[in-house]
Amino acid sequence: MADCLLYLVGAASEYGDGARILAGLTRYLIAETGIEDAIECSYRSDPDGCPTRYERVDTSAALDVSVGHAAAILGYHRRRLGVSGRLHLLGWSLGGVILFEAATRLVAMDRAWHGSFGAIVTLGSPLNGCDADGVEEIGAVAAGDAGRELIRRAADPGHRARVADAAKTLTASGARVVTLGAAEDVVVTPEDSIVARSAEERARWTFRSRPRLGSDLMEQHLGHGAILHDPAAWRIVRAVIRGEPTP
């Protein structure tokens, strides 16, 4: 069975940043899981669903727009792999939200997608919204229309339940869904990033990731991105892709 890893990073990125930001993790996964293709997803696609280069401004589009492009790209790669192929999804920050929701949309719309996803892993992704004291302007500065929507979602009592239902839908379709967060991340807290069935599971998916020396200001002072370089998180992602029990 052919497998392909698709990855996507977050707000204010541009095409090529994912390969750079996730270089260490993707090299590790290729070496440890046998996956041969690790391909950057995109916030833009052509009419056939082929990913096209995106600019920073594209990450600020309304979430539904970005999810639509990502869903088209997933369809393109599924056709490329054939019916026996599986897609593994890896998303950081906003990229994890986009991939999670694109997969949910496809599985909910067409049962033919059942069995098409292997691992769906998000790292520091505001799946439950992003709590910035309800101030939409903060989200707008960070990520435009997408940021505003994430702020509103955090204030919506029903949104968290819908995300939990989406995770169940993906799991029922055959995917292994794991949502990871970092305790020191003040941009996307574990409360915003982790979809857990129990307090014990939430604790397992919360990491004490340390910023790297010389890292950018976002990682160094706000903790956002440190999880991408945490060996303990890498081992979890490896186990999920392999279909093994998580450490």
Which SS3 state, helix, strand or coil, does residue 10 take? coil
Decide if 117 contacts 170 (C-beta within 8 A): yes
H or E element at residue 152: helix 136-154
pLDDT tens for residues 11-40? 999 999 999 999 999 999 999 999 989 999
CA of 150: how far to CAs of 5, 65, 139, 172, 176, in Å? 26, 14, 7, 26, 24
Decide if 228 contacts 21 (C-beta within 8 A): yes
Q: Could you give the CA distance from residue 208 to residue 184 in angstroms, rounded to a whole number?
A: 7
pLDDT tens for residues 184-213? 999 999 999 999 999 999 999 999 999 999
Q: What is the DSSP letter of 245?
A: P
Q: Which two tokens stand for residue 208?
A: 């004490």
Q: Could you give the CA distance from residue 74 to residue 44 in angstroms, rounded to a whole number?
A: 12
Q: Could you give the CA distance from residue 42 to residue 196 in angstroms, rounded to a whole number?
A: 27
Q: What is the DSSP letter of 211?
A: P
pTM of whole model > 0.75? yes
In order of start, what are the domains of the chain with their CATH numbers?
3-242 (3.40.50.1820)
